Structure 1
Amino acid sequence: MITRFPGLTPTRSRAVVHGDLVLTVAVAPDPATSSMYEQSAKALARIDESLALCGSDKSKILSAIVYITDMKRKSEMNRAWDEWVDARNPPMRACIGVDLEPPHIVEIVVTAVK
């Protein structure tokens, strides 16, 4: 069975659960600042909220993909990540440079277990 948690728009889910597998995506809430650090921290806080909604938490993340618009500013995102991540249970993580719909400059995709 697939459980979908509604997002802010009718065509997107905030999170999806299938068995013990949890998938979620987050960006910083609007209004979003131009700070890579702040957008990263706010998106990670949303990941926490979505995982909790699904009965999980950041210690159970299997992998994360972080999309950012400017790889030269990756260190700002890394600072937010390092402050947030469960250092005892660090997930696999990839960081990819992409174009995102403004004003967002960070988008995070997470796969976790319950």
Structure 2
Amino acid sequence: MTIKRLAPEERLSGASICGNIVYLAGQVADDATLDVEGQTADILKQIDALLAEAGTSKSNILSVQIFLTDINDIAAMNRAWDAWLDRGNKPARATVEAKLANPDWKVEITGVAFIP
């Protein structure tokens, strides 16, 4: 079985594919000046693009982990999440408060998806 890597950067790939499973790296907003809702929406667009490149979609996400720098921002993050979510195919999800690598980032999202 081979491994395919998408959107490689200096230290990581945006996603890795092995078999029919896509592993998403932690995605952060391209525009760190946005508020939590805006950063979340930006990240979800990036996830959509990576999943499309991998040959799948948000409907096939198995699980996600969401990291917020301030757990009090969960309602704002959920507004963007709820607008994006495929209601018929909700993934397993964990949301935690965590210090992120860049103090301007308010949200980071990672996950695992299936390629049908």
**Length-normalised TM-score, structure 1:** 0.94
Please say if 1:35 is aligned against 2:35.
yes
Contact 1:65 1:108 in 2 (8 A): yes
Q: Which stretches of structure 1, 4 residues or longer, exceed 3 Å deviation after superposition?
A: none
Report the counterpart of residue 67 of structure 1 in structure 2: 67
Q: Deviations over 1:43-86 (max 9, x none)?
A: 01100001011111000000000001000111000111000010
CA distance in 1 between counterparts of 2:39 and 2:24 reads: 17
CA distance in 2 between counterparts of 1:89 and 1:72 reads: 26
Residue 3 of structure 1, CA deviation: 0.6
Count of residues paired in the alignment: 112
Report the counterpart of residue 113 of structure 1 in structure 2: 114
- Gaps spanning 5+ residues in structure 1: where? none
SS of the residue 1:79 aligns to = helix
- Gaps spanning 5+ residues in structure 2: where? none
Which residue type is aligned with residue 112 of structure 1?
A
Residue 95 of structure 1, CA deviation: 0.2
Give the superposed CA RMSD. 1.0
CA distance in 1 between counterparts of 2:70 and 2:7 reads: 30
Matches within 5 A, 1:48-59: 48-59=48-59
SS of the residue 2:88 aligns to = coil
SS of the residue 1:73 aligns to = helix
Which residue type is aligned with residue 109 of structure 2?
I
Matches within 5 A, 1:1-114: 1-7=2-8, 9-25=9-25, 26-29=27-30, 31-100=31-100, 101-114=102-115
Contact 1:34 1:103 in 2 (8 A): no
Q: Deviations over 1:72-114 (max 9, x none)?
A: 1110001110000100100011101000122111000010001
**Length-normalised TM-score, structure 2:** 0.92
